Structure 1
Amino acid sequence: MKRADLPHSDCGIAQALGVIGDWWTFLIVRDVAGGITRFDGLQRELGVSRRALAERLAGLVEHGVLERRPYSDRPPRYDYVLTTKGEGLLPALIALQDWGVRHVMGDGALTATSEDGSAESRRVHELVNRKMPDVLLERHDGEPVTPNAAGVWTVLFFFPGAFAPGTQGYPPGWADIPGTKGCTLEALTYASRGADFEAAGATIRGVSTQRPDQLAAFVTHARLSYPLLSDQDSRLAAGLLLPTFRTAGVDRFKRLTLLVDPDAVIRAVQFPISDPAGSVDEILALVRGR
């Protein structure tokens, strides 16, 4: 069925489903966002037939969700990458993942953490040996940067939210959500161990879905010596399918930490984290023992 043939043609949901409503199509968007951009890689990851994959890739290109970028002339081969239009699907991808984890795989409870051994925990730990996506995040001072520092080991700690006094406060009911407490303590503990991480050859970066101005206010308030990065557009969250939860209309990270090597490969994962301050010393030990 063509999009023009859809009933309720004035309905945005119906029109969107006309483009990406197919099972394989949305999974293709998921994997392209995660850095699998070539035909053979997508087929290997999805287990779909070559014909079905070719048809869906062609449809996504036709609708402007993906664009083809040649990487070989003989024979002609292409990378499939998200367009700006395609990147607009990333929040929907994250929302669908959160809904599936919370309401299909879970009991519906709102939480900022997970259980050891859960499907979500296993999925996050499978990020080990995964290459970091090629995305840019906005630093708290407005500078676009890669999540991991080039050529050095990087500790990326993801946190639900930290707010400076006098700024927009915590969302209603924040303290009642399991796993949200401890963001300020975690950030300050990393700051106090900064010299130790530097001596061990690693740099520290914090990541949140908060706006850069909110992060800048917290950096100033807490006097942090390392940058905080904003993933407010869900580029990194979707690229790695990181665990999130939604409250007060905002998708937020569940607390986790990634250790990334100088070649941008994830070498260790901390998730779930029940002791925010203690996790800093644990990741420092991993850095020293690498």
Structure 2
Amino acid sequence: MRMRNADETCGIAGAALVLGDWWNVLVLREVARGHVRFDALAAEIGLSRKVLTERLGRLVASGVLTRSLYQRRPVRHEYLLTDAGAALLPVLVAMQDWGDRWVLGDGSLTATADEDGAEHARVHALTGTRLPEDLNLPGPGGESLPVVPPDAAATVLFTYPGTGVEWGEPPIPGAAGCTLENRLFRDAWPEFRRSGVAVRGVSTQLVHEQEGFARAEQVPYPLLSDAAHHLAAALRLPAFRGAGRLRHKRLILVVDAERTVRHTLFPVVDIPYAVDRSLRLAVECGGRSTA
């Protein structure tokens, strides 16, 4: 397919040529979620083998996916994001944010969610699913850290919009309270540690922003940066745009030692209750009771 001459210098037209149609977008969505093998992709998307083979070939040729051999007899490949493909993750998250707000929602800007809405259903459908094995994010020092530590009996993973942010007027409903949430997890950290439960806080803030806040507040657990939206894309987490940045909505996942999501707390409205509840749920799914 050739672009018209008028489009040859247009980046939007070039990106549209790579993405092609909605099947290509859905293939990239599923690869980002960790469904990297042909049969898993076919099952998740509902495409025929012929059409999926064609779409995968186009995406490989475009340089956003690469094929990696994982079995020789018979020959089987995994389809992985290249650097160019990973750079499309913010585009996918922005599309999801737009769809959640303007197609599935009423256009309201909010950092929370209605219990009968699409975002609520999508987050709670994570229960019983496994997080991708290689899901790592930059920690406070920029080092790559696993979202779920391999030696933890259970992990409490909480996402939040951001700390130390001037939200402007009027305030975005549900966005306040990030500093309080981190302080409550910090204060409860000794009990989490005695229970063998890891804690990970995640926002889309940059590494140096996370590091500065963690140092000022003496946060003892890692704050991970999802500025590149790897976690948001992998789990299709709800987001919203605030202060010029796509931000996570506040939620809590309780994950067991096998990286399986056992419990979801969303929306998080009562922060003190949610912090206490997450510890009790984590103990139930593998942590040690200190009572």
Matched residue SS, 1:109: coil
Deviation at 1:265, TM superposition (A): 1.7
Residue 155 of structure 1 is matched in structure 2 by 156
Amino acid at match of 1:150: P
Q: Alignment RMSD, CA only?
A: 1.4
Q: Over residues 38-83 of structure 1, what are the superposed CA-to-partner deviations in whole Å (9 max), with x where a residue is unaligned? A: 1111111111111110000000000111000011111111000000
What TM-score results when the alignment is normalised by the length of structure 1?
0.94
Counterparts of 2:10 and 2:28, CA distance in 1: 22
Q: Where does structure 2 lack aligned partners over 5 or more consecutive residues?
A: 286-291
Mapping for residues 102-113 of structure 1, pairs under 5 Å: 102-113=101-112
Q: Is 1:219 matched up with 2:214?
A: yes
Matched residue SS, 1:128: coil
Residue 166 of structure 1 is matched in structure 2 by none
Amino acid at match of 2:233: A
- Is the contact between residue 244 and residue 254 of structure 1 (CA under 8 Å) also seen in structure 2? yes
- Is the contact between residue 71 and residue 79 of structure 1 (CA under 8 Å) also seen in structure 2? yes
- Is the contact between residue 197 and residue 283 of structure 2 (CA under 8 Å) also seen in structure 1? no
Deviation at 1:248, TM superposition (A): 2.5
Matched residue SS, 1:26: helix
- Is the contact between residue 138 and residue 145 of structure 1 (CA under 8 Å) also seen in structure 2? yes
Q: Runs of 4 or more off by more than 3 Å in structure 1?
A: 3-7
Deviation at 1:5, TM superposition (A): 5.4
Residue 202 of structure 2 is matched in structure 1 by 207
Mapping for residues 30-179 of structure 1, pairs under 5 Å: 30-133=29-132, 134-152=134-152, 153-163=154-164, 169-173=165-169, 176-179=171-174
Residue 288 of structure 2 is matched in structure 1 by none
Matched residue SS, 2:7: coil
- Is the contact between residue 166 and residue 243 of structure 2 (CA under 8 Å) also seen in structure 1? no
Return closer, same or farther for 1:6/1:242 CA change in 2, 3 Å cut-off.
farther
Matched residue SS, 1:81: strand
Counterparts of 1:26 and 1:159, CA distance in 2: 27
Q: Is 1:273 matched up with 2:268?
A: yes
Counterparts of 2:23 and 2:116, CA distance in 1: 28
Larger mean CA deviation between 265-274 and 75-84 belongs to 265-274
Aligned residues: 283
What TM-score results when the alignment is normalised by the length of structure 2?
0.94
Q: Over residues 120-144 of structure 1, what are the superposed CA-to-partner deviations in whole Å (9 max), with x where a residue is unaligned? A: 1111111112221222211112211
Q: Is 1:239 matched up with 2:229?
A: no
Deviation at 1:172, TM superposition (A): 2.5
Q: Over residues 15-47 of structure 1, what are the superposed CA-to-partner deviations in whole Å (9 max), with x where a residue is unaligned? A: 111110311000000000000001111111111
Amino acid at match of 2:270: D
Deviation at 1:195, TM superposition (A): 1.5
- Is the contact between residue 255 and residue 282 of structure 2 (CA under 8 Å) also seen in structure 1? no
Counterparts of 1:138 and 1:128, CA distance in 2: 25
Residue 23 of structure 1 is matched in structure 2 by 22
Counterparts of 1:96 and 1:242, CA distance in 2: 12
Counterparts of 1:6 and 1:19, CA distance in 2: 17
